[in-house]
């Protein structure tokens, strides 16, 4: 089912904006077909979302950031927004095909590792222990490495493609 508050007409307009070859009648027909396909279990916004995704490969539902504490990290999270304190910064490790810098981060619930890969390594330049940083657009990998499990019991945070790190006064 669609999330409460989604408007079918607004979603249809978003689809028309992204797929200009469609007409409003195309969308009405496609939505009706999806509702029938799913035995009329879908409300209209859900049917528009499914029609857009299945028939046109367009995702009309944008992921909302998850604002959480470190103790709540689980594997496979995406679009994480979190405020933490820098505890320790490791030197950058260089290897064939790339580089990584690990930073131990903490909040009032736990500590874990922030991993900065390749072009994101520079985001750690200028950080120092005690800095409060805001991570936006982070993610956790789908599995916890043995190192992470042994040392923190939590997955590490990585900065996503559109992610960012900034020093803050929060």
pLDDT of residue 3: 41
Distance CA 46, CA 118 (A): 39
CA–CA dist 106, 89 (Å, integer): 12
In a domain, 1, yes or no: no
**Count of structural domains within the chain:** 2
Q: How many CB atoms lie within 10 A of CB 3?
A: 10
Residue 88 and residue 155 share a domain = yes
Residue 88 lies in a domain: yes
User: 75 is in which domain, residue-wise?
Assistant: 66-167
- Backbone phi, then psi, for 169, in 5-degree steps? -100, 5
Tens digits of per-residue pLDDT, 18-61? Answer: 999 999 999 999 999 999 998 888 899 889 999 999 999 988 87
Same structural domain, 105 and 144: yes
Is the separation of the CB atoms in 158 and 117 below 8 Å? yes
In a domain, 2, yes or no: no
* 61 lies in some domain: no
Q: Are residues 102 and 129 in the same domain?
A: yes
Residue 80 within a domain = yes
Instruction: List, for residues 52-111, the tens digit of each pLDDT value.
Output: 999 999 888 776 666 689 988 888 888 888 999 999 999 999 999 899 999 999 999 999
Q: Are residues 46 and 107 in the same domain?
A: no
């Amino acid at each position: 089912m669609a999330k409460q508050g989604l408007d079918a007409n607004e979603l249809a307009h978003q689809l028309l904006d992204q797929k200009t070859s469609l007409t409003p009648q195309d969308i009405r027909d496609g939505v009706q077909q999806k509702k029938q396909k799913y035995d009329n279990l879908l409300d209209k916004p859900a049917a528009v979302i499914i029609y857009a995704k299945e028939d046109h490969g367009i995702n009309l539902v944008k992921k909302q950031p998850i604002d959480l504490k470190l103790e709540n990290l689980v594997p496979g999270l995406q679009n994480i927004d979190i405020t933490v304190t820098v505890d320790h910064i490791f030197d950058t490790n260089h290897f064939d095909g790339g580089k990584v810098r690990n930073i131990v981060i903490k909040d009032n619930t736990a500590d874990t590792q922030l991993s900065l890969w390749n072009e994101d390594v520079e985001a750690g330049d200028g950080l120092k222990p005690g800095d409060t940083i805001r991570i936006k657009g982070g993610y956790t990998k789908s599995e916890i490495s043995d190192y992470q499990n042994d040392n923190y019991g939590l997955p590490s945070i990585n900065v996503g493609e559109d992610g960012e790190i900034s020093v803050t006064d929060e």
